[in-house]
A = this chain, B = another copy of it.
Amino acid sequence: MRLGTLAIVGVGLIGGSIGKAAKQRGLVERIVGVEPDPDSALWAVENRVLDAVAAEVPAEADLIALCVPSDLVAQWVITLADHPATIFDVGSVKSPIIKEIEVTHTPPPRFVPCHPISGSEKSGPQAADGDLFDGCTVVLTPLANTASAAQQACASFWEALGASLVSMTADEHDAALAVTSHLPHLLAFAFMGQVTDQHLPLTGGGFRDFSRIAAANPELWWRIMQLNQGALSQALEDYSNNLRALAAAIESGDESQGLALIEAAAQKRRAADATAQ
C-alpha cells in the first residue's frame, strides 16, 4: 500500500511510533502532525517523524490517526465528521468513546475504532519506536454502520506495520482489556503505595517486572480507568474474590486448595508464553 498524506493528531509515543513505522516502511508520501505541545512538535519535525506540523488536519489527508488520549477522541471525531478520509483512533477504551459521540452525532461511517495493544510505560515522541507494532495485536471494534472500505483501509495500514488484527464489539474489548491491562495497572499502582526507600535494595527481577507498569503516565491511566470504570470494577471484584480465596488457603494452611490455585495460575501463565512464541 502507498498513501498520499497521513495526518497524525497527537504526536506522543503512539502517534510518533505510527509516523516512524510508516516512514520506515515507505507507506506514505507525507506525514502531517497536529500537536499542541511545541516541544513535541518541533522534536518530531527535526527528527523526521513528521514532514510538517499544522494547526488543523489538512483537507488532503487520506488517512487520519487520532492518537490523542481516549477522553479526547470523541470530540476529534465530531470535529472531523465531514472530512472525507478514513479515521481511526488508538484509545485503550472503546465503548465510552462511541457513546460520547452518539450523544449528539451518528458516528461517521469512515471512523474505525482501533486499539493497538502495544504501549509502554514511556511517553512522548522521543520514546517512539518504528517497530512498536511489529507482532502486536490491533483490535478493531467497528460499528454497525462502519463502512467496510474504511475497515479495510485501517486493516491494511496496521498489517503493513506488522500487526495482527482481531475484530470484536466495543463492549467485548473493554471487558477483556479491563482484565488484561487496566486491572494490572490498578494493582501495580496500589502495590507501590507500600514500597519504601528501605525496600529498594531488597528487590530483584520479580519486583521490577511486576511493578514496571506502575511507572506509566499517571494522567493517561487515570483517564483510562475513569472511562472504563464499569468493566474495571467488575474485573476488580473478580480479582478480590480470587485473592481472598488464595489468602484464606495460605492463612489456614489448606495445602490442597492453595497449591491447586497456584498450580492453575502457573500453568496458565506458562501457556501464555507458549502462545506468544
Contacts and interface: CB of A to CB of B under 8 A. Distances in A.
A183 to B, nearest CB: 7
A38 interface: no
Interface in A212-264: 212-219, 221-222, 225-226, 229, 232-233, 235-236, 238-239, 242-243, 245-247, 250-251, 253, 255, 258-259, 261-264
A27 interface: no
Contact of A187 (B213, B243, B272): B243
Interface string A17-45: 00000000000000000000000000000
Given A137-B202, A206-B213, A265 B186 contact: no
Q: Considering the complex of A and B, which 7 residue pairs feature the smallest CB-CB distances, nearest first? A: A192-B265, A193-B242, A190-B243, A215-B269, A214-B269, A189-B265, A218-B262
A216 B259 CA distance: 12
Nearest to A120: B205
Given A215-B266, A226-B250, A176 B189 contact: no
B264 A251 contact: no
A208 B239 contact: no
Contact of A136 (B180, B204, B229): B204
A9 B98 CA distance: 61
A55 interface: no
Interface residues of A, number: 88
Contact of A247 (B166, B186, B199): B186
Interface of A: 117-121, 136-137, 139, 164, 166, 173, 176-177, 179-181, 183-195, 197-219, 221-222, 225-226, 229, 232-233, 235-236, 238-239, 242-243, 245-247, 250-251, 253, 255, 258-259, 261-266, 268-273, 275-276
Contacts of A181: 203-204, 206-207
A193 B276 contact: no
A190 B269 CA distance: 11
B261 A204 contact: no
Contacts of A261: 189-190, 193
28 contacts: A119-B204, A180-B207, A181-B203, A184-B191, A186-B246, A187-B187, A187-B210, A187-B243, A189-B261, A190-B242, A190-B245, A190-B246, A192-B269, A195-B268, A195-B272, A200-B272, A206-B212, A208-B272, A214-B269, A215-B269, A215-B273, A216-B266, A218-B262, A218-B265, A225-B250, A226-B250, A232-B250, A233-B250
